[in-house]
């Protein structure tokens, strides 16, 4: 990459939107530009060292640079160049040691944080916290951010150096700061401001920052470091890995990678209860509550003065969990299991705090709720048993041919079963199944009665054709008795059919009487025949048939 290409890339980067608050002396545009330019130089000249960070995790590097070293907290708290140089040394050692676990997004993020600290070390006024210095530093930040797109990086050397002694390294970088501060202060007191010394010194400071960041990153990433370096403490490594878990869970929302980091955390942790508590907090707050509780329980296995705090967290967790299960218990489908889980949760809350009155009250309340619910469930079971007994009686009546009694009993059983409500889904289903059976049984009985009524009408019609009027009337009169047991409210169809059959039978009865009268009238109108000798009926053949020809009275 040529210097012209590097400059164009830097300008294009600066023209993009920049997020984040100003967390260091360099402004957000400059911090982003320093980190990205340093990555480009590292990637161009030292591909082996930059391979894991420059391409895959560049966004994490930039995020770390923008967040600044104040985000890390105590282990990087600095108030002067000496403390800052020692912090850089500690971070180089720590990151070199952590490399054994691989280079990922958080490692890259910490390189960005380190870039922010290194950059401030080589900028006048950056680490001066006095009020006058902060005023000038704010102006420098704003002016450099406004002009950083114009800067060109002109490295003085092609190879980076291993920063073995950061205190001496940065002392050399800052050897002319006293004069520079004096000139910059005079420029800002006058009308020159940025257009004085800083117009020339700004690009040089930017280049110096990039070179310093590349040297420090090289010191972290190279495998060719001189021997004899001091190793970071297990405590430092452990807290680093805790911070990595936080970054992966909160910023990246990557549970899988967080779990991988946790395995390294267990390996190096010398038994710091606070770290297990913190990891538990992180998992819990990220929505992985079961894992959070598990880590808190591990923290209790280690002696520590913060044991009471962890016990309180566990107690509060189980209290909240129990409350949530009580809400779930309002759903009939979940009630039984949810109440059991609520009971267990309140028992656990008391396990971790035996004097917790709220947990004790909730436990008592839940036990009473479970007891009363079981009593209601047993009552529902008894109702179903009673309904089924009435159904058996109805079935016996139906087999005995007493349809009216069978239907009445089925309807009574149905009324009993309807009292089972939705609180107990299993019992409600049993009641509903029995009710469906009753409906089908009543329907079968009604259909049988309707068929019998149709058959009675058909038999009556046949008797009527044979002029057996009394028999026909008997059949028609049976219809009303047959369909009598059919409930008028069973269904519109059955009620209508019942009425139609009754009306049809009544019409047939009227027809019987009409036909009977007609037949009797026809009989009266027949001519009366003399009684034949020997008691004949008089309905023999007409005169002149069956006797001697010309015989009879008056024959000649």
- Choose one of 304, 335, 365: the last residue of a domain: 304
Rounded-to-integer distance, Cα 509 and Cα 515, Å: 10
CA neighbor of 270 nearest in space, from 243, 314, 304, 294: 304
Which two tokens mark 465?
A: 């054709």
Flag whether 203 is in a domain. yes
- pLDDT number for residue 538: 41
Which two tokens mark 104?
A: 């990922």
- pLDDT number for residue 14: 33
Q: Helix H segments across 329-356?
A: 335-352
Pair 424, 464 in one domain: yes
209 CA to centre of own chain: 48
Pair 174, 88 in one domain: yes
- pLDDT number for residue 344: 97
Flag whether 441 is in a domain. yes
Rounded-to-integer distance, Cα 36 and Cα 541, Å: 138
Which two tokens mark 293?
A: 């509780």
Pair 194, 295 in one domain: no
Flag whether 546 is in a domain. no
Pair 218, 265 in one domain: no
Rg (alpha carbons) of the chain, rounded to whole number = 52
Kindly give the interhelix angle for 28-45 and 47-54, rounded to the nearest 10 degrees.
130
Query: Which domain CATH number covers 217?
Result: 1.10.575.10
Flag whether 60 is in a domain. yes
- pLDDT number for residue 11: 33
What is the count of structural domains for the chain? 3
Contact 338, 332 (CB under 8 A): no
Rounded-to-integer distance, Cα 49 and Cα 116, Å: 20
Pair 472, 513 in one domain: yes
Per-residue confidence in pLDDT tens, the chain, 556 aa: 333 333 333 333 332 323 333 445 799 999 999 999 999 888 876 666 555 554 578 999 999 999 988 766 555 667 789 999 999 999 999 999 999 999 899 999 999 999 999 999 998 888 877 888 888 888 888 988 899 898 988 777 778 899 999 999 999 998 888 888 889 888 888 888 889 888 888 899 999 999 999 999 999 998 877 777 788 999 999 999 999 999 999 999 999 999 999 999 999 999 999 999 999 999 999 999 999 999 999 999 888 788 999 999 999 999 999 999 999 999 999 999 999 999 999 999 999 999 999 999 999 999 999 999 999 999 999 999 999 999 999 999 999 999 999 999 999 999 999 999 999 999 999 999 999 999 999 999 999 999 999 999 999 999 999 999 999 999 999 999 999 999 877 667 888 898 999 999 999 999 999 999 999 989 898 876 665 554 444 434 443 333 333 334 333 3
Which two tokens mark 55?
A: 């391409």
- pLDDT number for residue 277: 96
Question: What is the CA angle 53-56-59, rounded to 5?
Answer: 85
- Choose one of 241, 273, 304: the last residue of a domain: 304
- pLDDT number for residue 286: 96
Pair 139, 271 in one domain: no
Contacts of 263 (CB under 8 A, 6+ apart): none
CA distances 497 to 446, 484, 508, Å, are 10, 12, 16
Pair 15, 147 in one domain: yes
Flag whether 141 is in a domain. yes
Domain of 442?
384-522
93 CA to centre of own chain: 43
CA distances 429 to 246, 385, 423, 436, 443, Å, are 49, 14, 11, 10, 21
Contacts of 452 (CB under 8 A, 6+ apart): 482
Contact 115, 61 (CB under 8 A): yes
Pair 291, 217 in one domain: no
* Cα-Cα end-to-end distance for the chain: 163
Q: What is the largest CA-CA distance in the chain?
A: 185
Contact 496, 463 (CB under 8 A): no
Which two tokens mark 244?
A: 């990595």
Pair 139, 213 in one domain: yes
- pLDDT number for residue 542: 40
Flag whether 400 is in a domain. yes
Flag whether 244 is in a domain. no
Pair 262, 186 in one domain: no
Pair 263, 193 in one domain: no
337 phi and psi angles, rounded to 5 deg: -65, -40
Pair 212, 279 in one domain: no
- pLDDT number for residue 47: 64
CA distances 236 to 10, 70, 89, 93, 95, Å, are 35, 17, 13, 10, 10
Flag whether 390 is in a domain. yes
* Sign of the CA dihedral running 40, 32, 195, 171: negative
């Amino acid at each position: 990459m040529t210097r012209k290409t590097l400059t164009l890339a830097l300008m294009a980067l600066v023209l993009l939107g920049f997020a984040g608050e100003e967390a260091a002396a360099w402004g957000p545009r400059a911090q982003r530009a320093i980190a990205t330019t340093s990555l480009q130089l590292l990637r161009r000249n030292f591909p082996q060292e930059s391979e894991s960070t420059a391409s895959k995790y560049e966004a994490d590097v930039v995020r770390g640079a923008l967040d600044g070293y104040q985000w890390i907290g105590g282990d990087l708290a600095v108030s002067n160049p000496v403390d800052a140089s020692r912090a850089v040394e500690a971070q180089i050692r720590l990151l070199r040691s952590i490399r054994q676990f691989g280079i990922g997004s958080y490692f890259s993020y910490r390189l960005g944080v380190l870039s922010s600290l290194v950059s401030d070390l080589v900028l006048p006024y950056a680490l001066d916290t006095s009020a006058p210095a902060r005023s000038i530093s704010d102006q420098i930040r704003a002016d450099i951010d406004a002009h950083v797109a114009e800067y060109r990086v002109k490295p003085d050397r092609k190879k980076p150096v291993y920063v073995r002694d950061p205190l001496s390294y940065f002392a050399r970088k800052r050897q002319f700061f006293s004069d520079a501060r004096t000139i910059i202060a005079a420029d800002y007191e006058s009308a020159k401001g940025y257009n004085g010394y800083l117009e020339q010194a700004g690009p040089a400071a930017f280049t110096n920052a990039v070179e310093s960041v590349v040297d420090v990153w090289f010191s972290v990433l190279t495998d060719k470091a001189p021997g004899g370096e001091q190793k970071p403490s297990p405590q430092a490594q452990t807290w680093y890995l805790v911070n990595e878990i936080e970054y992966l869970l909160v910023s990246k929302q990557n549970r899988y990678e967080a779990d991988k980091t946790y395995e390294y955390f267990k390996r190096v942790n010398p038994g710091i209860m606070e770290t297990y508590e913190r990891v538990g907090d992180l998992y819990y707050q990220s929505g992985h509550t079961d894992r959070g509780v598990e880590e808190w329980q591990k923290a209790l296995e280690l002696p520590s003065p913060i044991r009471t705090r962890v016990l309180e967290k566990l107690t509060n967790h189980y209290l909240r969990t129990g409350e949530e299960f009580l809400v779930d218990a309002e759903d009939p489908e979940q009630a039984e299991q949810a109440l059991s889980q609520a009971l267990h949760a309140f028992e656990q809350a008391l396990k971790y705090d035996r004097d917790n009155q709220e947990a004790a009250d909730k436990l008592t309340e839940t036990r009473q709720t479970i007891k009363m619910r079981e009593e209601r469930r047993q009552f529902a079971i008894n109702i179903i048993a009673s309904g089924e007994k009435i159904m058996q009686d109805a079935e016996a009546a139906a087999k005995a041919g007493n349809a009216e009694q069978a239907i009445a009993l089925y309807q009574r059983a149905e009324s009993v079963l309807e009292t089972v409500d939705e609180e107990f889904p299993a019992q409600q289903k049993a009641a509903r199944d029995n009710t469906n059976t009753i409906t089908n049984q009543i329907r079968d009985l009604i259909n049988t009665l309707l068929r019998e009524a149709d058959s009675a009408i058909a038999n009556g019609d046949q008797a009527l054709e044979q002029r057996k009027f009394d028999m026909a009337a008997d059949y028609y009169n049976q219809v009303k008795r047959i369909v009598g047991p059919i409930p008028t409210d069973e269904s519109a169809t059955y009620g209508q059919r019942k009425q139609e059959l009754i009306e049809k039978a009544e019409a047939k009865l009227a027809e019987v009487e009409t036909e009977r009268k007609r037949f009797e009238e026809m009989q009266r109108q027949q001519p009366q025949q003399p009684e034949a000798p020997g008691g004949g009926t008089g309905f023999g053949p007409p005169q002149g048939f069956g006797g001697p020809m010309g015989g009879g009275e008056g024959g000649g």
